[in-house]
């Protein structure tokens, strides 16, 4: 636990440094307002990617290794398109603090704001103002209402995540027994979409003996998630398994479980980073969990933003763009671009991954 805490402090310090450097680097540059028009439908797939685009990443929170990896993927793409990258964001996953960052980014004349929303509605006003000031808005990881952004870069379809998570826990508990969900924040668009579809998934006959007893919220906060996991195990003595579809939640829950009498007895799966989960897979606390590559998600989101700001795409269904090493993507219904299927990690493959 101490080493984890040190790691977290280290990551925070690094992020703060990056933030300060990013702010300094962006000061004094003039704005290249790429088109400025908010009208959709005028995409030109042959338009070259503009150089010098100012692309900012605003994650749900900055002291979360998942977003550090995702935003670094974004930085890689922004460097490839010869743009200016910056990352800003709150240390706690809250929508109200995201609003002030959006306002500042808008005043700074960003060409693109790439954000993971802590709430589908609460940041819309600020995003709409930023759009009116000429910025293109890309959501990634966790969406807003569709009208508040041009494109949403989704990691995996919500249905794909729901199927994966329910299948994993059901296999681990032998297809029978009480389960709970330990989620992120109560308003998180992504987790709420996944949980709604997990509930549907659980209605399938093959899951007839799996019973969801409650959903708890750890707020993507390590300590709160740890305590919520402890509370679940005390409140539901027959609990057989927990799904925690958040990298913060599943790591904290695994840490609690590994030091408790429930280790190996109560199963835990979810969405986690291999680096945060490795020790718990190796010590037998966790059999298997899943995730996509967060770096690829950030990389794709940055390319989508550059394509929007260059007029290659407008966010309309059928628009196509090339995202560097990931190849070509097509914008789907409601401006959604999907990265790809999740990867399942267990003892057999976890050492092949380093993020
Ligand atoms: C946390 C965040 C993020 C989510 C991952 C799985 O890092 O809640 O939004 O996509 O978990």
Mean pLDDT across 177-192: 98
Clarify whether residues 258 and 335 are in a common domain: no
pLDDT tens for each residue of 196-246 = 999 999 999 999 999 999 999 999 999 999 999 999 999 999 999 999 999
Is the residue at 351 inside a domain? no
**Is the CB of 219 within 6 Å of ligand 1?**
no
Residue 133 included in any domain: yes
**Looking at residue 249, what is its pLDDT?**
99
Indicate if 38 and 128 belong to the same structural domain: yes
Mean pLDDT over residues 158-179, rounded?
Answer: 98
- Count the domains in the chain: 2
Residues 6+ apart with CB under 8 A from 28: none
pLDDT over 70 (residue 13): no
How far apart are the CA of 246 and the centre of ligand 1, in A? 5
Specify if 201 maps to a domain.
yes
Which ligand 1 atom lies nearest to the CA of residue 272?
6
Please enumerate in sequence order all residues whose Cβ is within 8 A of that of 127, keeping only pairs 6 or more positions apart, or say none: 102, 113, 115, 137, 144, 148, 149
Shared-domain flag, residues 244 and 330: no
User: Do both 216 and 114 map to the same domain?
Assistant: no
Residue 76 counted as domain residue: yes
Here the CATH number for the domain that contains residue 164 is 3.40.50.2300
The reply to whether 319 falls in a domain is yes
Intra-chain end-to-end CA distance of the chain, in Å: 19
**Mean pLDDT confidence for 51-73:** 98
Residue 17 within any structural domain of the chain:
no
* pLDDT on residue 32: 32
Average pLDDT of the chain? 90
With 70 as the cut, is the pLDDT of residue 24 above it? no
Same domain as 282, residue 207: yes
Whether residues 53 and 98 share a domain: the answer is yes
Q: Same structural domain for residues 299 and 279?
A: no
- Among the residues of 241-336, which ranges form H helices? 247-258, 274-282, 294-309
Pick the last residue of a domain from 291, 310, 327: 291
Final residue of a structural domain among 291, 321, 350: 291
Q: Are residues 286 and 166 in the same domain?
A: yes
Mark which of 270, 291, 312 sits at the end of a domain.
291
Residues 75 and 151 in one domain: yes
- Residue 101 covered by a domain: yes
Model confidence band, residue 42 (pLDDT cutoffs 50, 70, 90): confident
In a domain, 130, yes or no: yes
Query: Facing residues of 336 across strands?
Result: 152
Percent of the chain with pLDDT over 90: 88
Give the CA angle between residues 323, 324, 327 to the nearest 5°.
65
User: 190: Cβ below 6 Å to ligand 1?
Assistant: yes
What per-residue confidence (pLDDT) applies to 229? 98
Q: How confident is the model at residue 41 (pLDDT cuts 50, 70, 90)?
A: low
By residue range, what is the domain housing residue 243? 158-291
**pLDDT tens, residue by residue, 236-276:** 999 999 999 999 999 999 999 999 999 999 999 999 999 99
330 and 252 inside one domain: no
Candidate from 69, 93, 191 with most ligand 1 atoms within 8 A of CB, to mutate: 191
Indicate whether 252 and 333 sit together in one domain. no
Asked if residue 133 and residue 33 are part of one domain, the reply reads yes
**Contact indicator for 304, 112 with CB cutoff of 8 Å:** no
């Amino acid at each position: 636990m101490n080493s984890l805490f040190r790691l977290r402090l280290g990551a925070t310090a690094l992020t703060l440094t990056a933030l300060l450097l990013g702010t300094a680097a962006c000061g004094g540059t003039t704005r290249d307002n790429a088109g400025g028009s908010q009208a959709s439908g005028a995409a030109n797939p042959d338009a070259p990617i503009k150089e010098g685009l100012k692309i900012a990443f605003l994650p749900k929170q900055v002291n979360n290794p998942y977003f550090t990896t995702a935003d670094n993927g974004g930085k890689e793409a922004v460097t490839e398109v010869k743009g200016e990258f910056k990352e800003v964001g709150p240390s706690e996953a809250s929508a109200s603090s995201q609003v002030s960052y959006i306002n500042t980014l808008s005043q700074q004349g960003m060409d693109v704001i790439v954000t993971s929303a802590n709430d589908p509605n609460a940041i819309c006003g600020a995003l709409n103002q930023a759009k009116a000031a000429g910025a293109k808005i890309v959501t990634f990881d966790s969406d807003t209402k569709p009208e508040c952004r041009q494109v949403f870069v989704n990691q995996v379809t919500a249905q794909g995540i729901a199927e994966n998570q329910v299948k994993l826990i059901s296999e681990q508990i032998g297809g029978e027994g009480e389960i709970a969900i330990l989620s992120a924040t109560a308003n998180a668009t992504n987790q709420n979409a996944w949980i709604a579809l997990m509930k549907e998934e659980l209605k399938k006959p093959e899951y007839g003996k799996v019973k969801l007893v409650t959903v708890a919220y750890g707020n993507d906060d390590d300590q709160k998630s740890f305590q919520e996991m402890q509370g679940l195990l005390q409140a539901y003595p027959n609990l057989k398994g927990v799904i925690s579809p958040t990298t913060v939640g599943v790591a904290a829950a695994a840490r609690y479980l590994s030091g408790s009498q429930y280790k190996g007895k109560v199963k835990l799966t979810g969405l986690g980073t291999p680096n945060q989960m490795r020790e718990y897979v190796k010590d037998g606390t966790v059999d298997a969990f899943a995730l996509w590559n967060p770096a690829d998600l950030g990389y794709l989101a940055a390319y989508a933003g550059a394509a929007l700001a260059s007029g290659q795409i407008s966010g309309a269904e059928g628009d196509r763009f090339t995202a560097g090493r990931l190849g070509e993507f097509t914008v789907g219904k409601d401006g959604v671009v999907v990265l790809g299927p999740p990867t399942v990690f267990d003892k057999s493959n976890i050492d092949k991954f380093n993020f």
